[in-house]
Amino acid sequence: MSNPVMSASLTSTPGTSIGATIAPTEHDMLTLDAIVEHTSRFITTEYASLTSASAPVTWPVTPYGGTTGRTVDVATGLTYPLKAERARRNPKVALSFSYPAGSGHAHPATVVIQGLATVRDRDLVATSARYLQSSADRFPDSFASIPNFMLRRMDWYWTRMWVEVTPIRVRWWDDGDLSVAPRVWTAPGGTVAPQSDPPPTGHGAGSWTANAPSDWRRRSAGAIDRLGLPVLTTVDADGWPLPLRTVAATPTADGFDVVVPAGVEIVDGPAFLSFHTHREVFDGQENIGLAGHARTDGSGVVRVTVDRALADWGVAKSAVRSGLAMWRAGRALRPRLTSEAARRGVSLPVFDDLGFVRPSR
């Protein structure tokens, strides 16, 4: 019996078509292959999923080209599974590629993929082996300082689930020029995504972070100067999260006034603001996530009222501080490994069974 599938269709924007000839860029033809190749070179993507109340939550994660070449994938830890659990419950997710530092692109496009998610977490040996090897190949310098005996004790970190995203609709701003309307690619009619692995039983581990939620005003003070313009995520008329790098942002008494790129329509409702940054060579990252509501006022400005700051976990640039944070996280998260594996009825992977090959530098 074949696996059940999820499907969706969207009407193409008038005047656009798959494979239409466009102005010269790194990709003269907008195809699925070009989209996957371009986006999978980014160090971070702003990954948006929806809560049970259909509110968006968006965090930066590392994207990887899918094993079939037809998806863009992200991974999350078994010990902090909410990114995957939200996608399993509602497969409408989105990936924004708006921060190209470290991608190696000479002319990076800004890209937003709205797609259908497939969650993989029933073969933890395969999912963890893929993550560990792919991550080490992507960031060999980071792994060079971690001997194998330490990696064996970091199972709480590298035991992973994957979210495979099948693109359904893609907005593409050539050269990152957000002042003009994007080109739009839509998947052929009847495009489907495989069904996710079965959901685990019982109550999950839920959210976790080393930092408790703080007052959003204090948390976001100086964020624009320190981290740059935020990504605003709203929910579009088709029920998909829509993460967009803003082109202007101003703090207000109750949130932020922002301006979004040309050629998109914002629907009033739940919203999320994401701030993050990293250097060309990834050696640390600070993240800020603010949940609230957005409304348009007809002037082109989107007014975001912030309700709260979500707890977050960045990566310190200092090797000592980063190591200490990982040690503390491991103490808190390792007990979750057994319970989360039991909920899925699977065994936990062992480092020496993953076939890990340390990359050459």
Q: Each residue of 116-166: pLDDT tens digit?
A: 999 999 999 999 999 999 999 999 988 888 889 989 999 999 999 999 999
The 10s digit of each residue's pLDDT in 305-342 is 999 999 766 554 545 555 566 667 777 788 899 999 99
Q: What is the pLDDT of residue 204?
A: 77
The pLDDT of 262-289, averaged and rounded, is 88
More confident residue, 290 or 19: 290
Expressed in angstroms, the distance from the first to the final Cα of the chain is: 45
Whether 93 has a pLDDT exceeding 70, the answer reads yes
Q: In the block, which residue shows the tokens 């893929």?
A: 130
The pLDDT of 225-247, averaged and rounded, is 97
Q: What is the pLDDT of residue 343?
A: 95
Q: What is the pLDDT of residue 193?
A: 97
Q: What is the pLDDT of residue 281?
A: 75
> Which of 48, 46, 51 is CA-nearest to residue 207?
51
Structural contact between residues 62 and 44, judged by C-beta atoms closer than 8 angstroms? yes
The pLDDT of 74-97, averaged and rounded, is 96
Q: What is the pLDDT of residue 203?
A: 83
Write the DSSP symbol of residue 41.
Answer: T
Q: What is the pLDDT of residue 313?
A: 62
Kindly state the percentage of the chain with pLDDT values over 70: 84
Whether 258 has a pLDDT exceeding 50, the answer reads yes
pTM for the complete prediction? Answer: 0.88
The 10s digit of each residue's pLDDT in 31-56 is 999 999 999 999 999 999 999 999 99
Q: Please tell me the distance from the alpha carbon of residue 119 to that of residue 121, in angstroms, as a whole number.
A: 7
Mean pLDDT over all residues of the chain? 87
Q: What is the pLDDT of residue 1?
A: 37
Instruction: Tally the C-alpha atoms within 13 A of residue 157's C-alpha that lie toward its C-beta.
Output: 15
In CATH, the number for domain 28-349 is: 2.30.110.10
Structural contact between residues 313 and 329, judged by C-beta atoms closer than 8 angstroms? yes
Q: What is the pLDDT of residue 328?
A: 74
- Residue 285's pLDDT band, with cuts at 50, 70 and 90, is confident
Q: What is the pLDDT of residue 92?
A: 98
Structural contact between residues 81 and 340, judged by C-beta atoms closer than 8 angstroms? yes
Whether 12 has a pLDDT exceeding 50, the answer reads no
Q: What is the pLDDT of residue 315?
A: 54
> Which of 303, 307, 284 is CA-nearest to residue 295?
303
> Which of 127, 161, 171 is CA-nearest to residue 39?
171
Q: What is the pLDDT of residue 280?
A: 73
Structural contact between residues 213 and 311, judged by C-beta atoms closer than 8 angstroms? yes
Q: What is the pLDDT of residue 213?
A: 56
Whether 27 has a pLDDT exceeding 70, the answer reads no
- Residue 286's pLDDT band, with cuts at 50, 70 and 90, is confident
What value, to the nearest 5°, has the Cα angle with vertex 229 and ends 223 and 235?
Answer: 110
Q: What is the pLDDT of residue 167?
A: 98
The 10s digit of each residue's pLDDT in 198-211 is 999 988 776 665 45
